[in-house]
């Protein structure tokens, strides 16, 4: 299981949103840090093929994902940064609907939905409409949705944005539990969200990958005491 990205670029008009991004993702949690507009969401949109790339390649176990098409999408789970939810649907119905879109058989879907609702602690709210959910409950449904079909590659774009500290810690725990044996990419502006769970840390700015290292090296390699310190230090020295 390996996802290799070579020289991937994407522009919106004159704006180069992603500039020659190259990295090999392995199983484990990779955190992608960087200021607003760094290109993090653009990278995820290119991996989901929601956005057309200008140049470069994304290889999954050696084959470009454009060639794999549906075969790759089946192995992909995505929790987007901004998302519309079907307010009138119950959590259970929403997950069943997403499972159908993903082409998961009804029986398998029913089992997975039951298991996932339990993992994200929403069993008791399964039959309530998502329109009445708090931010944290919504993020949990969306995380469960991304996990349908037991993906090998999981993309989480700011999964904890807008959550209170307790909900954040809870969601982080779920992510850690669900990340086993997967290539997990997670973007966040809250460094403490990934400080304990990330194996690798990537730092991006202006569409470029500035620096990548394992968590210990990322922090102590620049003499920082925390990931937040290291982020600031590295961002301003690279």
Binding site for ligand ATP (CB under 6 A): 12, 15, 17, 34, 36-42, 81
Stretch that binds Mg ion, among 8-16, 37-45, 72-80, 134-142 (CB under 5 A): 37-45
Residue 160 lies near Mg ion (rule: CB under 5 A): no
**Whole-angstrom Cα distance, residue 155 to residue 49?**
12
**Whole-angstrom Cα distance, residue 102 to residue 75?**
10
- Residue closer to ligand ATP, measured from CB, 13 or 223: 13
Q: Which residue is nearest to Mg ion (CB)?
A: 41
Pattern 71-90, Mg ion, x by CB under 5 A: ----------x---------
- Residue closer to ligand ATP, measured from CB, 48 or 81: 81
Q: Where are the beta strands (DSSP E) in 68-114?
A: 76-79
46 binding partner (options ligand ATP, Mg ion, none; Cβ < 5 to 8 Å by kind):
none
Considering the complex, what minimum distance in angstroms separates the CB of residue 200 from Mg ion? 19
Considering the complex, what minimum distance in angstroms separates the CB of residue 48 from ligand ATP? 13
Residues 6+ apart with CB under 8 A from 234: 203, 210, 211, 218, 222
State the number of binding residues for Mg ion (CB under 5 A). 3
- Residue closer to Mg ion, measured from CB, 32 or 122: 32
Considering the complex, what minimum distance in angstroms separates the CB of residue 31 from ligand ATP? 13
**DSSP letters for the chain:** --EEEEEEEEEETTEEEEEEEEEEE-SEEEEEE--TTSSHHHHHHHHTTSS--SEEEEEETTEEHHHHTHHHHTTEEEE-SS----TTSBHHHHHHHHHHHTT--HHHHHHHHHHHHHHTT-GGGTTSBGGG--HHHHHHHHHHHHHTT--SEEEEESTTTT--HHHHHHHHHHHHHHTTTSEEEEE-S-THHHHTT-SEEEEEETTEEEEEEEHHHHHHTTT-SSHHHHHHHHHHH-
Binder among 30, 41, 112, 160 for Mg ion (CB under 5 A): 41
- Residue closer to ligand ATP, measured from CB, 15 or 67: 15
Considering the complex, what minimum distance in angstroms separates the CB of residue 81 from ligand ATP? 6
124 binding partner (options ligand ATP, Mg ion, none; Cβ < 5 to 8 Å by kind):
none
12 binding partner (options Mg ion, ligand ATP, none; Cβ < 5 to 8 Å by kind):
ligand ATP
Residues interacting with Mg ion, by CB under 5 A?
Answer: 40-41, 81
């Amino acid at each position: 299981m390996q996802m290799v990205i070579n020289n991937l670029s994407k522009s919106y008009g004159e704006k180069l949103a992603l500039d020659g991004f190259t990295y090999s993702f392995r199983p484990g949690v990779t955190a992608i840090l960087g200021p607003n507009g760094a290109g993090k969401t653009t990278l995820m949109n290119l991996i989901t093929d929601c956005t057309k790339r200008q140049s470069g390649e994304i290889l999954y176990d050696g084959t470009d994902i454009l060639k794999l098409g549906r075969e790759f999408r089946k192995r992909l789970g995505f929790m987007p940064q901004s998302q519309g939810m079907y307010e009138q649907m119950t959590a259970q119905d929403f997950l069943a609907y997403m499972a159908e879109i993903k082409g998961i058989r009804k029986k398998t879907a029913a089992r997975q939905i039951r298991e996932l609702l339990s993992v994200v602690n929403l069993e008791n709210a399964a039959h309530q409409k998502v329109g009445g959910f708090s931010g944290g409950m919504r993020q949990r449904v969306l995380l469960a949705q991304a996990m349908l079909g037991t993906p090998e590659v999981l993309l989480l774009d700011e999964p904890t944005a807008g959550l209170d500290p307790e909900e954040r810690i809870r969601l982080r725990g779920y992510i850690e539990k669900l990340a086993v044996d997967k290539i997990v990419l997670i973007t966040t502006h809250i460094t403490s969200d990934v400080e304990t769970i990330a194996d690798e840390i990537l730092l991006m700015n202006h569409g470029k990958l500035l620096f990548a290292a394992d968590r210990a090296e990322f922090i102590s390699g620049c003499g920082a005491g925390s990931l937040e310190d290291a982020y600031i230090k590295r961002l301003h020295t690279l």
